[in-house]
Amino acid sequence: MTRPTLSHAAMTQFPLAGDELLVGGMPLTRLAERVGQTPFYAYDRQAISARIDSLKAVLPARLELHYAIKANPMPALVAHIASRVDGLDVASAGEMRVALDAGMPAAAISFAGPGKRPQELRQAVAAGVCLNAESITELQRLHEASQALGVPARVALRVNPDFELKSSGMRMGGGAKPFGIDAEAIPAALRRLAELELQFEGFHLYAGSQSLRAEALIDAQSASFELALRLAADAPGPLRILNLGGGFGVPYFPGEARLDLAPIADHLAALDAQLLSAQPQARLALELGRYLVAEAGVYVCRVQDIKQSRDTTFLITDGGLHQHLAASGNFGQVIRKNYPVLLGNKAGQSADQRYSVVGPLCTPLDVLGSEVMLPQAAIGDLFVVLQSGAYGASASPRGFLSHPDVIEILV
Ligand SMILES: *Cc1c(COP(=O)(O)O)cnc(C)c1O
């Protein structure tokens, strides 16, 4: 039987020193000693900064680059990013607190999400952040909060567009969706917003996540832009912000290549120029989560046992799906595929042995690598899952089976 020959995109964000992977400039074995336990997540400041710098170098200068906190809400990481981007996007009052603690001015924070509780809306009005309203009910509640507090509510409307982001990992708009207000209902929502004396800020669209096709992102951005300009004709005031969402993907699986930014940046420059003449007060915004942080993070666990079962050699680690649901294939994947993995203390050695890598949970779903190639392994080795900076610790069922919790560090 021939095995598939597809390989992972080259991962060069962490250099080697001898056999050791360097994370935050420190050999992984020593970093594990510093942390004092496995498993842990480590996020590399340098890698995050480099990613943001490379984006800023190509995006139009007037465009606002926002970070969507839900990708990774670790407070130290959010604070690191806050000083390097133009805004933060939050999806709960808890995330709003992290964003404000990070020092981001309220004026540069926006709050989206279906089913915001009345209390959260009131907190957001009190804080002075921009609310991305997702229903008429929310508009009514924002009016009430604004009246009660004597503070004007700054409101953008989240639009559920009449198209989808093609070939994305997760579709967040188009068709029947709980997110946003259907495009055809926006004119009525704008009238209601004006009657309720809410301060109109603009539109927010978010078509989908994890797209690796520049063409698909460009199409969605074009369609979002045109739709928003059409809808702006019914707005009670000038457009200030046109948030085109995120969705930039990173390569996780064999055969995937990094997103080609150049055509996206060129296209955004053209949209920016168009916006400047049509709505001079308005700024374009991108809200990226995964793209800013995913490649800067590693998940590190330790081999606890090595077992041969019939034709398969299992590495049993102290990490698993309870801490890294996405790498186990149970967070939005249809067919399980392997994340890029390695042995962090043997990263310089040739990967010529085949292993299946599992966690300690009593479920066959607890797989971190199926039939992956690694150097000859030993108990005590550090097993590393790359591309782990987004949708990791906070997107995993950490209470499942009551193991000790994972630690997160920023290095
Ligand atoms: C999750 C989310 C994002 C971030 O998406 P990524 O695919 O991680 O870039 C942006 N905006 C909204 C509204 C979201 O819900």
Task: Give Cα separations from 45 to 51, 99, 277, 389, 392 (angstroms).
Answer: 10, 18, 38, 11, 17
Q: Output the CA 39–ligand 1 centroid distance in Å.
A: 27
For residue 146, pLDDT over 70 is answered with: yes
**pTM attached to this predicted model:** 0.95
Q: In a 3-state reduction of DSSP, which class is residue 198? A: coil
Q: Give pairs for 61-64: CB < 8 Å, separation 24+.
A: 62/272, 62/276, 62/283, 62/284, 63/268, 63/272, 63/283, 63/284, 63/285, 63/286, 64/241, 64/283, 64/284, 64/285, 64/286
Length of the chain: 411
- Strand order of the β-sheet with 16-17 is 16-17, 20-23, 26-27
Among the residues of 166-324, which ranges form H helices?
186-195, 214-232, 261-278, 290-293
The partner residues of 26 in beta bridges, in order of sequence, read: 23
Q: Output the CA 129–ligand 1 centroid distance in Å.
A: 18
User: For 223-282, what is each residue's pLDDT tens digit?
Assistant: 999 999 999 999 999 999 999 998 999 999 999 999 999 999 999 999 999 999 999 999
1 falls in which pLDDT band (50, 70, 90)? very low
What is the pLDDT averaged over residues 71-79? 98
For residue 54, pLDDT over 90 is answered with: yes
For residue 72, pLDDT over 50 is answered with: yes
Kindly give the number of the ligand 1 atom that is closest to the alpha carbon of 132.
Answer: 13
Q: Which of 98-107, 163-172, 202-211, 327-336 has the highest mean pLDDT?
A: 98-107
Angle at 326 between CA 306 and CA 134, to 5 degrees: 165
For residue 169, pLDDT over 90 is answered with: no
Return mean pLDDT, the chain: 96
Please choose from 209, 241, 394 the residue to mutate so as to test ligand 1's pocket, defined by most ligand atoms within 8 A of CB: 209
pLDDT for residue 271: 98
207 falls in which pLDDT band (50, 70, 90)? confident
Kindly give the number of the ligand 1 atom that is closest to the alpha carbon of 391.
Answer: 8
Kindly give the number of the ligand 1 atom that is closest to the alpha carbon of 249.
Answer: 7
Tally of CB atoms within 10 A around 403: 17
Helix (H) or strand (E) holding 326: helix 325-328
The set of protein residues with a Cβ atom below 6 angstroms from ligand 1 is 68, 70-71, 89, 91, 112, 206, 209-210, 245-248, 287-291
**For residues 360 and 357, what is the distance between their CA atoms, to the nearest angstrom?**
10
Q: Output the CA 63–ligand 1 centroid distance in Å.
A: 17
For the record, the structure tokens of 142 come out as: 């924002």
Q: Output the CA 36–ligand 1 centroid distance in Å.
A: 33
Q: Kindly tell me the burial class for residue 350, based on how many C-beta atoms sit within 10 Å of its own C-beta (0-12, 13-18, 19 or more).
A: exposed
351 falls in which pLDDT band (50, 70, 90)? very high
**For residues 360 and 302, what is the distance between their CA atoms, to the nearest angstrom?**
11
Kindly give the number of the ligand 1 atom that is closest to the alpha carbon of 287.
Answer: 10
Closest CA to 341 of 249, 253, 411: 253
Q: Output the CA 200–ligand 1 centroid distance in Å.
A: 22
**For residues 295 and 292, what is the distance between their CA atoms, to the nearest angstrom?**
8
Please choose from 70, 78, 387 the residue to mutate so as to test ligand 1's pocket, defined by most ligand atoms within 8 A of CB: 70
pLDDT for residue 70: 97
Q: ω into residue 4 within 30 of 0, thus cis? A: no
pLDDT for residue 165: 65
For residue 2, pLDDT over 60 is answered with: no
